[in-house]
Structure 1
Amino acid sequence: MTGQWSGAGREPVERSTRQLIEDGRARQQALAGVDTVLEQVRGTATDNHQSVRVTVDGRGRLVELWLRQDAVRWGADQLGRLIVLVAEAAVDQATQAAYNRLAPILGDDLTYAVEQLSGRPAPARRDTGGITAEEFQRRRDERLRRADGEVSRRGPVVDDGFDPDDPLSFDLSTLRSDR
């Protein structure tokens, strides 16, 4: 094994040169599959009135535009704006779906690099409804304290099936806000 050093943390990487080359080749093959993923991914959105439906691929290219027969009642300008808004929602859905499919193939770091290079951040990153890892940990600690006998303001603690000591009871990768 070689005592190589990783990035900014300057921590030794205990991997052989052969393993590093194999990892590099695997990432190269994974990157070659990005185009296939982007062609296969679809995002579809419809307005609230069911007048417009737009489907795009992972690159944001229009695959289908459907208009209900009475969509002309909106008028040309308003219908045009509605189509653009629905198309943007479809692109967001396709973009997120593409990142969701790429992350398991490329890994988080390389997927984030693709995200940065594309200029289109993952729509989930724009969502402020998620929680940070720190907030998750705080809530977990609070749950554990309550489970250890402290009285909850909300009533008795309900067993949700989550076992912090069992790694199979919860998939930590689901905590990422960009997936």
Structure 2
Amino acid sequence: MPTTRELISQARAREEAMARVDELLASASGTAHDLDGQVEATVDARGKLLRLWLAPSAVNLGERLGPLVVEIAQAAMREATQDGYNKVALLLGEDMTSMIEQMTGMPAPARAEDDDPGMTVEEFQRLREERLGSAPVPAPASAPGSSAEDEDEYWDTFDPASLRSDR
């Protein structure tokens, strides 16, 4: 059980970290572009357009250009929001960031139901092996004499922070 001094120190550290949240959010940004590379937009976490680039061929889009710019700016905004949450999570931790998401009613885009979940570990390994032209690496076999106690010890010392966050 933490001592009173440790609790006070933890509270002060959290207070200082919370004071930095605004600074972190001010530095967050996101960039997006269309599949054809005709439109690219960069926005900050507050939605301010920082940069808009149009390829010379974008003039050929006619009436579709306006809606495409809006769509790209919205995608950039999602990236900026995610960047902000990523920075805050590194400072405050996952639990506090999740609480901020709940309080604001703005969940991290990576948590959106329609978000692309990315590739599986197996798919990544397969593509890596294809790219490198290497033979598959077999899974490590259990060492002789390993027991449930060894596995329990592993999980007792396992640090979940070593896993990739969904952010």
Give yes or no for TM over 0.5. Answer: yes
Q: Tell me, what secondary structure is at the counterpart of 1:15?
A: coil
Letter in 1 for 2:38: S
CA RMSD of aligned residues (A): 3.1
Share of identical aligned residues, percent?
44
Provide closer, same or farther for how the CA distance between residues 71 and 128 of structure 1 changes in structure 2, counting only shifts above 3 A: closer
1:89 aligns with 2:75: yes
Deviation at residue 172 of structure 1 after TM alignment: 4.5
Q: Which residue of the partner structure matches residue 102 of structure 2?
A: 116
1:167 & 1:68 partners in 2: Cα distance? 55
Q: Which residue of the partner structure matches residue 34 of structure 1?
A: 21
Deviation at residue 67 of structure 1 after TM alignment: 1.4
* CA deviation profile, 1:56-80 (whole Å, cap 9, x unmatched): 112222111111223122123x211
Residue of 142, 149, 174 corresponding to 2:163: 174
**Aligned partners of 1:45 and 1:90 also within 8 Å:** yes
1:114 & 1:33 partners in 2: Cα distance? 14
Provide closer, same or farther for how the CA distance between residues 65 and 130 of structure 1 changes in structure 2, counting only shifts above 3 A: closer
Deviation at residue 170 of structure 1 after TM alignment: 8.1
Provide closer, same or farther for how the CA distance between residues 128 and 67 of structure 1 changes in structure 2, counting only shifts above 3 A: closer
Q: TM-score, normalised on structure 2?
A: 0.68
**Aligned partners of 1:37 and 1:58 also within 8 Å:** no
1:50 aligns with 2:30: no
**Aligned partners of 1:42 and 1:94 also within 8 Å:** yes
Letter in 2 for 1:101: K
Q: Which residue of the partner structure matches residue 103 of structure 1?
A: 89
Provide closer, same or farther for how the CA distance between residues 25 and 107 of structure 1 changes in structure 2, counting only shifts above 3 A: same
Aligned length: 138
Deviation at residue 117 of structure 1 after TM alignment: 2.9
* CA deviation profile, 1:77-127 (whole Å, cap 9, x unmatched): x21111111111111111112211111211112111222233321111123
Q: TM-score, normalised on structure 1?
A: 0.64
Q: Which runs of 5+ in 2 are unaligned?
A: 120-135, 141-150
1:159 aligns with 2:139: yes
1:129 aligns with 2:117: yes
Larger relative contact order (CA 8 Å, sep ≥ 6): 2
1:71 & 1:157 partners in 2: Cα distance? 47
Instruction: Point out 4+ residue stretches in structure 1 off by more than 3 angstroms.
Output: 164-173
Deviation at residue 30 of structure 1 after TM alignment: 0.8
More helix per residue: 2
Q: Which residue of the partner structure matches residue 3 of structure 1?
A: none
1:65 aligns with 2:52: yes
1:157 & 1:42 partners in 2: Cα distance? 39
